Amino acid sequence: MLNDELAAIFEEMADMEEIEGRKWQSIAYRKAAASISTAGGNLIDLYRSGRLRDIDGVGEAIEAKIRDYIEKGKIEKYDEMKARYPIDFASLRKLQGLGPKKIYALFTALGVKDIETLKAALNDHSISGLQGFGEKSEESLRKAVEVFEKYGANRRFLAEIYDEIQEIKKKLAKSSLFEDLEIAGSFRRMRETVGDIDILGISSNPEKGREFFTNLDDVAGIISSGPSKMTVRLKNGLTCDFRIFARDSFGAAMQYFTGSKEHNVQLREIAISKGMKLNEYGLYEGDRVKAGSDEATIYRALGLEWIEPELRENMGEIEAAGAKRLPRLVEYGSIRGDLHTHTVDTDGRNTLEQMVGAASASGLEYIAITNHSKGLKVAKGLTDEGFRSFNRKIDSMNEKSSIRIFKGVELEILKDGSLDLDDSTLQEMDFVLAALHQGVVGDANENTARVVKAIGSGKIHSLAHPTGRLIGSREAYRLNFERIFEACKENQVFIEINGYPERSDLPFDLVKKAREYGILFTLGSDSHSTKDLRNLHFATAIARRGWLDKESVVNTLNADHFTNLIRR
């Protein structure tokens, strides 16, 4: 995206100006970069209508550079500076403790210009001997590189950092230095991965508030600090922006910093069309404040219903909010059962008793144990006979268990679309999830035919992790989802939303499409241990992001109603 490209260029120019000791230029570029990347307004449109200067921090000089970049594809001053500093600032700046001046010192002394050359310098211990560095900073740089290589350029799974961030919020709240607090950004939208954290607060004592925040155990170091915003590196490797607002602006700040960019662009256009102006401080008509302290009032003043954060992706939610046709999203607290779990009998780590105990302790009313079938050898899938004896174990546990246990299977869809267990075994099962794990080919038609045949068998209830993607390591299978959704609709087969973080499958945009076919969904944690049961919460988040109401999610039924629904 053009905004991001230009913001990155201005960030680098700020770094290079800083090296050359031109503090004010550096600050100006930094400011322009920040407002270009967060404002999100389409630069091309602003450029065409001659309104680039409307962007905060864009004056004559920066406007000229944006124009050059759009018209000629380059900025002369940037190219000229880059020739002097052929350094990958963007990556190196992500390392804790490395500012432009230190980067430049490493560059002149040791030729460090990116992560690779830095690693080489670390390997031959040449950094500790440099002036301004030392044993300690060499060691902390080594750690920083490790963190960067693990996560740096990538985003982190929401599930992985969720509790920790909630904990930070609690600590801040307990300080009684803040009247209100909110974690905004993609965290609030419950996106399955997050790139950084945005914390907003109201405080009558901002100085103290900031000091308290930076002294938290979770904060590894300060990246930058100014009166309205401070940026820190958290110990978990994420960057975190912390901003303090006045009560009057807090709703506007929540709206602005929750995003998404695309949603906000659309909202600002609506404001303009009504002769108003929306920014992180409020909604204004001329000099008059229309709304600011409360998010819902801002939406209302724009003629819209308040929109749940999970929906803010500019995927039709604004139009629906205008027509008062937003869905009533399924609530996190409405989920009564988990419909995808494993035990130690296949590739899980906990026993049936432990899984049931943990599910009961977490407040669930029922759980389906869906171990793998024999075709999945890497997971020690059970044979027909194996399932028969496992099912007897479930029967006897059901007699004393406080929650209902359903006999399930995660059944292999074989190469020709046939199923991995005998009909007589399948008839014993309460809940059959079918899954594609092996033999997937590059041809969408072939893969789709396999899945559609399984759906049409009359023997499966739900299709597990339909796309097969593993975030960060495997692309989605090639499949024709229109045909799959049609087949599900026709055969009354459900679609799973798998909450295992790497899977997060079906992805929310496909959930939204599937919803239009009137298909029902089953949520599953795909637990391989008791601690994975929490994935159900994140499956629910995907359901909400995919516009699902309570009626579309099978897991909201009580155990008896669920039993009736799956009976064949």
Alpha helix (H) residue ranges in 302-443? 317-322, 352-361, 384-400, 423-428
Q: Which residue is nearest to Zn ion (CB)?
A: 526
Least distance from Zn ion to the Cβ atom of residue 193, Å: 20
H or E element, residue 134: none
Minimum CB distance to Zn ion smaller for 41 or for 468 = 468
Say if strands 288-291 and 282-285 run parallel, antiparallel, or are unpaired.
antiparallel
Listed ranges 49-57, 80-88, 234-242, 432-440: which one lies at the site for Zn ion (CB under 5 A): 432-440
Question: How far, rounded to the nearest angstrom, does the alpha carbon of residue 87 sit from its chain's CA centroid?
Answer: 30
Least distance from Zn ion to the Cβ atom of residue 439, Å: 14
Cα-based distances in Å from 59 to 31, 34, 43, 55: 11, 14, 14, 9
Least distance from Zn ion to the Cβ atom of residue 524, Å: 7
Minimum CB distance to Zn ion smaller for 98 or for 435 = 435
Minimum CB distance to Zn ion smaller for 29 or for 521 = 521
Paired with 412 in beta bridges are 435
Minimum CB distance to Zn ion smaller for 343 or for 457 = 343
Least distance from Zn ion to the Cβ atom of residue 529, Å: 12
Rg (CA), the chain: 27
Minimum CB distance to Zn ion smaller for 283 or for 429 = 429
Contact mark string toward Zn ion, 211..250, x via CB under 5 A: ----------------------------------------
Least distance from Zn ion to the Cβ atom of residue 509, Å: 21
Minimum CB distance to Zn ion smaller for 295 or for 526 = 526
Minimum CB distance to Zn ion smaller for 280 or for 526 = 526
Minimum CB distance to Zn ion smaller for 255 or for 350 = 350
Least distance from Zn ion to the Cβ atom of residue 340, Å: 6
Residue in 392, 552, 554 with CA at minimum distance from that of residue 461: 554
Least distance from Zn ion to the Cβ atom of residue 482, Å: 23
Minimum CB distance to Zn ion smaller for 142 or for 534 = 534
Torsion 39-25-116-132 (CA) sign: negative
Residue type, 289: V
Per CB under 5 A, does 435 bind Zn ion?
Answer: yes
Minimum CB distance to Zn ion smaller for 311 or for 451 = 451
Paired with 368 in beta bridges are 406
Least distance from Zn ion to the Cβ atom of residue 44, Å: 43
Least distance from Zn ion to the Cβ atom of residue 435, Å: 5
Contact mark string toward Zn ion, 471..510, x via CB under 5 A: ----------------------------------------
Residue found by looking up tokens 């004592």 in the block: 205
Listed ranges 170-178, 202-210, 276-284, 526-534: which one lies at the site for Zn ion (CB under 5 A): 526-534
Q: Which residues contact 372 (CB under 8 A, 6 or more apart)?
A: 342, 346, 347, 379, 380, 381, 382, 409, 410, 412
Let me know: does 205 contact 187? Beta carbons within 8 Å.
Answer: no
H or E element, residue 43: helix 43-48
Q: d(Cα 26, Cα 13) in Å, to the nearest integer?
A: 7
Determine the straight-line distance between the first and last CA of the chain, rounded to whole angstroms. 51
Touching Zn ion, residues 10-69 (CB under 5 A): none
Residue in 438, 437, 442 with CA at minimum distance from that of residue 479: 442
Let me know: does 559 contact 366? Beta carbons within 8 Å.
Answer: yes
Least distance from Zn ion to the Cβ atom of residue 269, Å: 43
Contact mark string toward Zn ion, 394..423, x via CB under 5 A: ----------------x-------------
Residue found by looking up tokens 């920066």 in the block: 62
Dihedral angle computed from the Cα positions of residues 446, 452, 453 and 457, in that order, rounded to the nearest 10 degrees? 170
Residue type, 124: D
Listed ranges 303-311, 324-332, 453-461, 525-533: which one lies at the site for Zn ion (CB under 5 A): 525-533
Q: How many residues bind Zn ion (CB under 5 A)?
A: 3
Residue in 234, 103, 228, 109 with CA at minimum distance from that of residue 168: 234
Least distance from Zn ion to the Cβ atom of residue 533, Å: 13
Minimum CB distance to Zn ion smaller for 58 or for 435 = 435
List of residues contacting Zn ion (CB under 5 A): 410, 435, 526
